[in-house]
Amino acid sequence: MSLRTIAVLMPGDMGHAVGRVLRDHGYRVITNLTGRSTHSKDLALTGGLEDVDSLSEIVAQADLILSILPPASALSLAQDVAEEIAQLDRKPVYVDCNAISPQTVQTVGKTISESGSLFIDAGIIGAAPGKGRGPRFYASGPDVRPMLELNGKGFQVLEAGKNVGEASAVKMVYAALTKGTWTLHTALMMAAQRLGIRDTLIAEFEHSQDAALSTIRARVPFLPADSARWVGEMEEIAATFEQAGVTPAFHKGAADIFKVLEQTPFAQETRADMDASRTLEEALEAYVQYLPKP
C-alpha cells in the first residue's frame, strides 16, 4: 500500500518528534489534541502535526496509525480505535509502538485484528528523532511492510520477527537494562543518603567506579520528569520476565523507585524545562523525603 497520511497518537516527547520527521519526508501527519495538555499541544505545534477534530476522523483519514503513548493507555486506545475501524470499509494499518509486554501487545493486536485492520507490533529503542543517533523501531508481525516503508525517514526500522510480541520483547529486555540500571543507581544512592554515608560512598566511587559515578550523576537527578510513565513500563517488563520464567522482582522494585520519584516536586518538570543544573546531592536530599519511614 502507498502511505500518504500518518496519524500519531499521541504527540508527546517521542510522538511529536516522529511526526515532525515524517512530515519533513513528505507525509501528511495528523493527530487529535482533544483533552490533551498544553504541553502536548505545544509539542504538536512544534512538530507541525495537523489537529483533526475527532478520533473517528483520524481513523477515516489515516493510512497508518502510530500509537505512541504511556503503556497504561495502550489497550484502551486500541479499543477505541478498533470501534471506529469496525464502522469503516477502509482499514488503516495500526502500529503499537508502546513499551508493553508481549502478552499485552498480543491483546492489543487481537483487538485491532478483529476490527479488520493489519496490526504491527513495534518497539522503539533510542532517543527521539533529532537527538543523538535517533531511534530504531523494531517491527514484528505477519506483514510489517508498511512500517519498513518508513525506514530512513528520520529513523530506522528493523524487522524483528513474524510473530506479534517479538518486537515488544526486544524493547522490554533492552529497557530492563537501561531504565532498570538507573533505578538501581537511584536506590543505592538513596540508601547511602539515608544511612549517612553518601559522601564517603561517592569518594570511593571516584576512586574505583568512576564510569558508574559519571552515569549516576548524569541520570539520577533527572529521572522524576519521566517517572510517572516509567512506572507502567517497569511493570510491563516485570510481566515480560515472569512470562519467560525469570524473576519479575527486579523490575517490580524498579517500579517502586519510580513511584517514589513521582511524588517529588521534580516530577512536575518536563524534559524541556527541567533544572539541568540540579546536582546529584540536591536530588538525593529531596528524594529521601518521600521514602517510607524505616
- Domains belonging to the chain, first-starting first, are 5-163 (3.40.50.720), 169-290 (1.10.1040.10)
Q: Please give the single-letter amino acid code of residue 88.
A: L
Cell triple for 116 = 479488520
**Residue 16: pLDDT over 90:** yes
Give yes or no for residue 294 having a pLDDT over 90: no
Average the pLDDT over 258-270 and give the result.
97
Q: Which residue has the cell 511492510?
A: 145
The reported pLDDT for the residue numbered 91 is: 96
Share of the chain above pLDDT 90, in %: 92
CA distance 160 to 133: 20
pLDDT for the residue numbered 2: 83
* Rounded-to-integer distance, Cα 226 and Cα 214, Å: 20
pLDDT of residue 280: 98
Across the beta sheet with 119-125, the strand order is: 50-51, 28-31, 5-9, 64-67, 93-96, 119-125, 136-140, 156-161
Q: Is pLDDT above 80 for 1? A: no
Q: How do residues 88-107 score in pLDDT, each as one tens digit?
A: 999 999 999 999 999 999 99
Backbone phi, psi, residue 71, to 5°: -55, -35
* Mean pLDDT over each residue of the chain, to the nearest integer: 96
At 40, is the pLDDT very low, low, confident or very high (cuts 50, 70, 90)? confident
